């Protein structure tokens, strides 16, 4: 891991590309959902307009220091995952700042943003924020269990905690992908991914028509713009993380865009088919089949 | 004459919003004036545009293409708001989205008549919205509001509590009539 000026510039360029792909992918998915509902839907570039609009809205409200810091922590979580995630296998420019123990750090960063947002939204003082935060934290805690079991299974299988080395071990064709060599871990992780992306049936945190908007109820203007920026980055990097762990990584940008699109589409596809769970159903669901599959994945590898 | 006006105003006020003193948990006495604490008595002001005209034009374009709506559904017009998002009318294609919180909304649809009780909610919701914000009124709403002397339509040229941006010229007919206003 080197901290040269050119390395930092390449990483910033990568962040810019990921942000743009995240916005376009988000718009495309909303268009797909609209077509499923037989609507024409938004233009694909609508997330850009929303972002510009949100950044231009004025703000005259404060609820305290943590209210300011909530979106900042959330963005740090998304950008933090990006910084330590190798995007393109075999490329010096696009491997970012990945190192030998990056897998553990990325798992931590997934929770970091959510905890920061919980503190910020809690200071907003709106009851829906508190309900959304309690739901989000309890759901994500149960998501972490099968996801961590799957990751530990991979660490044992490949004998490493470096994402780059896990990707390197999967090169050489479809038969070497973790999807084929360790299907139990893949299924457990892909099921927990549904919860991580927060689409229906696990959209309990924002829960439209129930606790509208959820934690960001009080967030507006630039705060909301930062949250939306983070959402665009986070969707791509989380999909890229799963691509690296289970689907052979990517050797070029086209492969990355295709695979991240399909991985994100998986959660959208499930979302348009199934209606929302209640929180106790969601928690119980993650602690049944995904958890059992995660344990089997560990046993099989040992 | 002045006394009469005050009495007339006070008869609409609930006792919960009268000025009073409350003992805080630490024993100190706090004076509470809900009319001052919950409502803003300042007139709405027009926000200053950005000095660079190109930037302001670009931002105005973005604002017009991304209108987030807070629906204040009173009266017969409220039933016309939900179909806006259905496949038949599909306001999403114009960048219109419904927001359940006034903090994130730019456009405020008041779809029907306002009584004294609902007017208080309108003002509180309006004041929670951030600038720049727009108000869209059905014809019924401002006409009724004029009767109670608080919100009036631009046609009469009187003082507005909500600065009405657009008044639809028709009474409740169909959801599609919202679209030109938005």
pLDDT, one tens digit per residue, over B14-38 is 677 778 888 888 888 988 887 777 7
Do strands B29-32 and B20-23 pair parallel, antiparallel, or not at all (unpaired)?
antiparallel
Cβ distance A53 to B93 less than 8 Å, yes or no, reads: no
- What is the per-residue pLDDT across B113-171, written as a single tens digit (0 to 9) for each? 666 677 778 878 888 888 888 887 765 544 444 443 334 333 332 334 455 555 555 55
User: What's the pLDDT score for residue B4?
Assistant: 53
Cβ distance B101 to A221 less than 8 Å, yes or no, reads: no
User: What's the pLDDT score for residue B116?
Assistant: 67
Q: Looking at the complex, does the CB of residue B40 fall below 8 Å from at least one CB of chain A? A: no
Cβ distance A34 to B58 less than 8 Å, yes or no, reads: no
* Band of pLDDT at residue B12, cut at 50, 70 and 90: low
The order of strands in the sheet holding B134-137 is: B97-98, B68-72, B107-110, B134-137, B166-167
Closest to B84 (Cα-Cα) out of B175, B172, B174, B173: B175
Q: Check if the beta carbon of residue B49 is closer than 8 Å to that of residue B41.
A: no
Do strands B166-167 and B20-23 pair parallel, antiparallel, or not at all (unpaired)?
unpaired
Provide the angle, in degrees to the nearest 10, between the axes of the packed helices A127-158 and A279-286: 10
A158/B159: higher pLDDT: A158
* All structural domains of chain B: 68-181 (3.40.50.12280)
Minimal CA separation from B3 to chain A, in Å: 36
Q: For residue B105, what are its two tokens?
A: 């909304």
Cβ distance A218 to B58 less than 8 Å, yes or no, reads: no
Q: Looking at the complex, does the CB of residue B180 fall below 8 Å from at least one CB of chain A? A: no
Q: In chain B, what residues touch A43 (CB-CB under 8 Å)?
A: 93, 95
Q: Check if the beta carbon of residue B55 is closer than 8 Å to that of residue B143.
A: no
In the predicted model, is pLDDT for residue B44 greater than 80? Answer: no
Q: Looking at the complex, does the CB of residue B59 fall below 8 Å from at least one CB of chain A? A: yes
Least confident of A4-13, A114-123, A287-296, B14-23: B14-23
Name the residue of chain B whose CA is nearest to A207's CA. Answer: B100
Q: Check if the beta carbon of residue A101 is closer than 8 Å to that of residue A162.
A: yes
A169/B77: higher pLDDT: A169
Q: Looking at the complex, does the CB of residue A41 fall below 8 Å from at least one CB of chain B? A: yes
Query: What kind and span of H or E run contains A29?
Result: helix A5-36
B143/A268: higher pLDDT: A268
Q: What is the dihedral of CA A97, A98, A104, A109, to 10 degrees?
A: 40
């Amino acid at each position: 891991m080197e901290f040269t000026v050119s390395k930092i510039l390449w990483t910033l360029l990568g962040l810019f590309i990921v942000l743009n792909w995240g916005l376009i992918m988000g718009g495309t998915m909303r268009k797909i959902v609209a077509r499923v509902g037989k609507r024409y839907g938004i233009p694909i570039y609508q997330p850009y307009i929303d972002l510009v609009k949100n950044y231009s809205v004025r703000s005259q409200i404060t609820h305290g220091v943590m209210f300011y810091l909530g979106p900042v922590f959330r963005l740090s979580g998304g950008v933090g995952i990006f910084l330590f995630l190798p995007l393109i296998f075999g490329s010096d420019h696009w491997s970012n700042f990945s190192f030998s123990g990056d897998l553990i750090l990325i798992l931590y960063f997934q929770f970091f943003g959510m905890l920061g947002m919980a503190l910020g939204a809690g200071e907003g003082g709106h009851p829906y924020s508190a309900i959304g935060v309690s739901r989000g934290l309890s759901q994500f805690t149960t998501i972490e269990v099968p996801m961590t079991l799957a990751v530990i299974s991979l660490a044992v299988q490949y004998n490493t905690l470096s994402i780059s080395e896990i990707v390197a071990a999967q090169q050489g064709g479809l038969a070497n992908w973790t999807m084929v060599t360790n299907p139990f871990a893949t299924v457990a992780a892909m099921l927990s991914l549904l919860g991580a992306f927060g689409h229906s049936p696990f959209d309990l945190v924002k829960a439209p028509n129930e606790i509208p908007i959820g934690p960001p109820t009080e967030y507006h203007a630039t705060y909301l713009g930062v949250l939306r920026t983070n959402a665009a980055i986070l969707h791509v990097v989380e999909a890229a993380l799963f691509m690296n762990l289970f689907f052979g990584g990517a050797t070029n940008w086209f492969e990355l865009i295709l695979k991240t699109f399909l991985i994100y589409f998986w959660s959208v596809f499930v979302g348009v088919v199934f209606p929302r769970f209640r929180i106790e159903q969601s928690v119980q669901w993650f602690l049944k089949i995904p958890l059992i599959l995660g344990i089997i994945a560990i046993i099989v590898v040992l | 004459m002045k006394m009469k006006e005050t009495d007339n105003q006070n008869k609409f006020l609930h006792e919960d919003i009268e000025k009073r003193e409350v003992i805080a948990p630490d024993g100190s006495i706090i004076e509470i004036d809900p009319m001052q604490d919950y409502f803003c008595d300042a007139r709405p002001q027009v926000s200053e545009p950005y000095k660079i005209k190109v930037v302001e034009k670009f931002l105005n374009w973005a604002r017009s293409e991304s209108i987030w709506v807070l629906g204040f559904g009173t009266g017969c017009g409220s039933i016309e708001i939900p179909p806006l998002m259905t496949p038949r009318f599909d306001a999403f294609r114009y960048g219109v989205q419904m927001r359940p919180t006034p903090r994130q909304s730019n456009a405020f649809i008041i779809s029907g008549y306002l009584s004294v009780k609902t007017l208080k909610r309108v003002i509180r919701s309006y004041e929670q919205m951030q600038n720049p914000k727009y108000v869209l009124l059905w014809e019924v709403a401002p006409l009724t509001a004029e009767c109670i002397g608080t919100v009036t339509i631009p046609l009469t040229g009187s003082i507005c509590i909500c600065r009405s941006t657009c008044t639809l010229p028709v009474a409740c007919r169909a959801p599609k009539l919202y679209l030109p206003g938005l």
